[in-house]
Amino acid sequence: MQSAVPHQIPRALMNPLEERIGYKFRNSLLLAEALTHSSISLERKNYSFDNQRLEFLGDSVLQLVVTEHLYKMFPDFSEGTLTKLRTRVVSRSGLKNHADGIGLGAYLMMGRGEDSSGGRVRASTLSDAFEALIGAMYLDGGYAVVRDFIVREAAADFAEMVLKPEEINPKGRLQELLQSIAPKAPVYEILSQTGPEHQKTFQCRVLWEEIELARGVGRSKKQSEVAAATLALDNELWTSYRPSSANAV
């Protein structure tokens, strides 16, 4: 998706990221702060800031914009349904997809160790940086500017919600993602069950390639498995998976 670049700003005055997001920062230091990973201060003592405060601000702005947009889009939906729909946009995996869409990883400033260990493609790093960028845009241009940016970037998500407002099957989604990396399917193990017979609580964990991806709790075995799969999708621990020589192609 191509963002609309404001006509009044010549492209020559915009750096590639500004051109991609369709916004020219008046205060370039805010953009620099949003793109600065905390790891860089460990190697370069002259860096006095990172993007963690902007991430904190951007998270709240993002939540508000998406909540407001969904509230207007689906006037008949309950709070619970709206919350589930919002998660599709603001989850770590959702934000990583949006960060990838604007090529955000290439613009991040980070320490050499973080860079060499895959920081530019790590889900947590990219999702935090995307929120920091939102925080910087909010401070620099105001709510209307950042609202338009978020709604534009999430347009495909909102369109899919109109077609498929029901909750996505997290177990099926997790299996699809994992088997695109290695043939082995995830395994769900019930760790415990507590409470009286009519009101039991189950705890489950999901394993894949000897990695515990997440644990979930529910009123039934199925609910606990769905909860574990949902958390696993958000944690994305498989990004550190390295196939053994026996499994390597």
- Whole-number Å distance between alpha carbons of 216 and 230: 8
Q: Which residues form the catalytic set?
A: 59, 131
**84 located within any domain:** yes
**Please, which pLDDT band fits residue 245 given cuts at 50, 70 and 90?**
very low
Please state, for a pLDDT cut of 90, what percent of the chain lies above it: 42
Average pLDDT over residues 233-248: 68
For tokens 């969904």, the residue is 70
Confirm if 50 and 41 have CB atoms less than 8 A apart: yes
Residue at which a domain ends, from 114, 129, 163 = 163
Among 44, 229, 62, 35, residue whose Cα is nearest residue 143: 62
Give the pLDDT score at 6. 42
The answer to whether residue 8 scores a pLDDT higher than 50 is no
Among 239, 241, 242, residue whose Cα is nearest residue 124: 239
* Range of the structural domain that residue 207 is part of: 170-240
Residues in the chain: 249
Residue at which a domain ends, from 131, 148, 163 = 163
Dmax (CA) of the chain: 69
CA 5 distance to own-chain centroid:
25
Which amino acid would we find at residue 245? S
Number of domains forming the structure of the chain: 2
The answer to whether residue 12 scores a pLDDT higher than 60 is no
Write out pLDDT tens, residues 151-210: 999 998 898 888 877 666 788 888 888 888 888 899 999 999 998 877 789 999 999 988
CATH number of domain containing 226: 3.30.160.20
The answer to whether residue 3 scores a pLDDT higher than 60 is no
- What is the pTM for the complete model shown? 0.66
Residues 34 and 147 in one domain: yes
